């Protein structure tokens, strides 16, 4: 399936994994791989461009099949959130849906004109898509 670059979904990886997977911290890299695989399924099913932002290098940066993986550009608190803000600054936010439950990031993304969806709601959408 062709992915529409005018319909981007930027996913806060730690937020989404933390909202769904129990015990994910015992195998953080495995949990992130599992999320990336589910996002590939979602991207292919919905025809959107999906980007996964990770706080730590649990997956190699770059393409993971049809999902683009980004690493935070620094370490520490909210590093992944800041990377999402950077991606939004380089985009037309009106074409972007940000998946996060982080209050400050939600506010900033909405102020820039992006749509925001919570991590739990997004996990439900993954399930509905069969992913």
Residue 112 sits in a domain whose CATH number is: 3.40.50.1000
Does residue 46 register a pLDDT over 90? no
CA distance linking residue 65 with residue 87, whole number of Å: 20
For residue 84, the enclosing domain spans 4-128
Radius of gyration in angstroms for the set of CA atoms belonging to the chain, rounded to a whole number: 13
Sole residue written with tokens 């529409």 = 4
Domain count, the chain: 1
Per-residue confidence band for 56, with pLDDT thresholds at 50, 70 and 90 = confident
CB count within 10 Å of CB 87 equals: 19
Give yes or no for residue 29 having a pLDDT over 90: no
Tens digit of each residue's pLDDT (9 = 90 or more) over 78-111: 899 999 999 999 999 999 999 999 999 999 999 9
pLDDT of residue 128: 94
Q: What is the mean pLDDT of the chain?
A: 91
CA dihedral 96, 29, 19, 125 (to 10 degrees): 50
Give the count of alpha carbons within 13 A of 65, CB side only.
12
State the pairing for strand pair 67-71/115-117: unpaired
Instruction: Give pTM, 2 decimals.
Output: 0.91
Indicate the DSSP class of residue 126. Answer: H
pLDDT at site 3: 62
**Residues 57-79 pLDDT 10s:** 889 999 999 999 999 998 888 89
| Percentage of the chain modeled with pLDDT above 70 | 95
The pLDDT of residue 26 is 80
Distances from the Cα of 35 to the Cα of 18, 48, 51, angstroms: 11, 16, 12
């Amino acid at each position: 399936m062709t992915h529409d670059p005018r319909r981007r979904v930027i996913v806060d990886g730690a937020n989404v994994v933390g909202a769904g997977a129990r015990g994910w911290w015992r195998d953080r890299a495995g949990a992130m791989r599992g999320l990336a695989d589910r996002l590939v399924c979602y991207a292919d099913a919905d025809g959107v461009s999906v980007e996964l932002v990770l706080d730590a290098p649990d997956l190699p940066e770059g393409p993971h099949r049809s999902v683009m993986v980004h690493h935070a550009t620094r370490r520490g608190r909210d590093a992944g959130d800041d990377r999402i803000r950077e991606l939004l600054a380089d985009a037309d936010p009106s074409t972007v849906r940000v998946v996060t439950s982080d209050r400050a990031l939600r506010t900033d993304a909405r102020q820039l004109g992006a749509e925001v969806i919570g991590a739990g709601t997004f996990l439900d959408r993954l399930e509905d898509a069969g992913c």
